[in-house]
Amino acid sequence: MMKDVMIDIETLATSNNALILTIGAIKWDRKKPLKKKDDLDKFYRRININSCKKIGLEINQETLNWWENQDEVVRYEALENNENRVDIKTALLEFIEWYGNCKFVWGNGDDFDCVIMTNAFEKCGLSPPWKFWETRYVRTLYDLGGVKNYMLKKLDCKAHNAIDDCYKQIYGCKFAIKKLGIY
């Protein structure tokens, strides 16, 4: 059984009340060698923006401006591709089911992915599938392991694609774990 889940979200703000555009997550095992991205159990949903607005999630103009400067393909996936967009509550319910009995959830910081997701769960009247003490932070592990983002550039991952970002973060965690001599 996989215990670890890496999440990455794309948003329209940076506050804990940010509107969520996409949710990506991958189950992984920090103690075993990294599998190819295609061989990992993944969760990905494009979220209906109006469903996020209805529950009071925020849009920030600075973040909108930032998205305007991103690659067209990435922007299309996050903002403009309206195929298969689901209501935020539906996506969160599906995420809970997919998450199953996993133990630890990893995000790229102690103030972003997990916090924003927890807020969205609460706004939808749901509880996240993890306890607050089960959150883990990628940037802390990178810092302890001496891993810098430029060391991860060789991966074939698109920036700001939630699944690709998850995979890159898992790779970075594995790299840090190896450098630290853990497991």
CB 11 within 8 A of CB 22: no
Percent of the chain with pLDDT over 70: 98
pLDDT above 90: residue 109: no
Measured CA to CA, the distance from residue 39 to residue 26 in angstroms comes to: 10
Measured CA to CA, the distance from residue 51 to residue 36 in angstroms comes to: 34
At 152, the pLDDT band (50, 70, 90 cuts) reads confident
The tens digit of pLDDT for each residue in 64-81 reads 999 999 988 889 889 887
The tens digit of pLDDT for each residue in 78-108 reads 988 777 899 999 999 999 999 999 999 999 8
**One-letter identity of residue 81:** N
pLDDT above 80: residue 41: yes
> In this predicted model, which residue has the larger pLDDT, 182 or 59?
59
Percent of the chain with pLDDT over 90: 81
Measured CA to CA, the distance from residue 120 to residue 55 in angstroms comes to: 8
Q: What Cα–Cα distance (Å) separates residue 10 from each residue in 2, 56, 133? A: 24, 17, 23
CB 97 within 8 A of CB 126: no
